[in-house]
């Protein structure tokens, strides 16, 4: 009895330590992923936020972008540019891998192994993307948008805490 309780607690703690997010692309096997970052997208009036997640695959990595939309006609389309904190830019070509459900649209973009090495060394500063869709009254906002790596909209001059996500640190753990 005395040995069972510590063993149970050790097993419980190990399961929490190994808990990791995953990404599954249209029925594929799940890939280990970072947490779901909420980047600020000030020009996107509908929600002002873009969900960003990076996963490691056998052939490099995957970038998952998700936004809330007013209707199912809106899509993230075209190429995406991932701006890094050191000034490098990673262009991602649209492979037309998209999902749309529950008032959200999701697009997936692929990274090469060399690009994943860059992402492991430097934080993502911003992601530039395009939203397309039908233009009608009370429809969705379309155009060019930038999601910035900021954890909150507002802060004071006295707040010295870090206001961005440590993307490079989490990607290097994958």
CATH of residue 73's domain is 2.60.40
CA Rg, the chain, in Å? 19
Residue 163 lies in a domain: yes
Question: Does any domain span residue 5?
Answer: no
Dihedral sign (CA 148, 152, 158, 161): negative
What is residue 44's predicted lDDT score, i.e. its pLDDT? 84
For the whole model, what pTM was predicted?
0.81
Contact call for residues 70 and 53 (beta carbons, < 8 A): no
Asked whether residue 7 is assigned to any structural domain, the reply reads no
pLDDT less than 70: residues of the chain: 1-20, 135-139, 152-157, 159-161
3-state secondary structure of 129: strand
Query: Looking at the domain assignment, is residue 41 inside a domain?
Result: yes
pLDDT of the residue at 174: 78
Runs of H (alpha helix) within the chain: 4-17, 113-121, 167-173
Which pLDDT value is given to residue 2?
Answer: 59
Q: What is the pLDDT of residue 17?
A: 41
Which domain does 121 fall in, by range?
22-173
pLDDT of residue 3: 56
17 inside domain: no
SS3 state of residue 12: helix
Q: What is the DSSP letter of 108?
A: E
- The phi, psi pair for 73, rounded to 5°, reads -80, -25
Extract the tokens encoding 106: 């999701």
In a domain? residue 161: yes
| 11 is a domain residue | no
Q: How far apart are CA 141 and CA 27, in angstroms?
A: 30
151 CA to centre of own chain: 13
Overall number of domains in the chain: 1
Residue 136 within any structural domain of the chain = yes
Q: Which residues of 74-84 are buried (b: 16+ CB within 10 A; e: fewer)?
A: bbbbeebebbb
């Amino acid at each position: 009895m005395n040995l069972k309780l510590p063993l149970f607690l050790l097993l419980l703690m190990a399961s929490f330590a190994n808990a990791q997010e995953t990404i599954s692309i249209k029925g594929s096997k799940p890939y280990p992923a970072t947490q779901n970052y909420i980047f600020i997208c000030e020009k996107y009036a509908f929600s002002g936020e873009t969900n960003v997640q990076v996963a490691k695959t056998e052939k490099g990595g995957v970038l998952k972008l998700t936004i809330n939309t007013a209707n199912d006609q809106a899509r993230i389309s075209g190429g995406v540019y991932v701006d890094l904190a050191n000034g490098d830019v990673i262009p991602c070509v649209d492979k037309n891998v998209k999902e749309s459900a529950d008032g959200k649209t999701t697009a997936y973009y692929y990274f090469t192994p060399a690009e994943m090495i860059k992402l492991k060394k430097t934080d993502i500063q911003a992601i530039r993307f395009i939203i397309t869709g039908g233009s009608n009254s009370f429809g969705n906002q379309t155009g060019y948008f930038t999601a910035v790596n900021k954890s909150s909209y507002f802060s004071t001059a006295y707040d010295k805490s870090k206001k961005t996500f440590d993307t490079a640190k989490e990607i290097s753990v994958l």
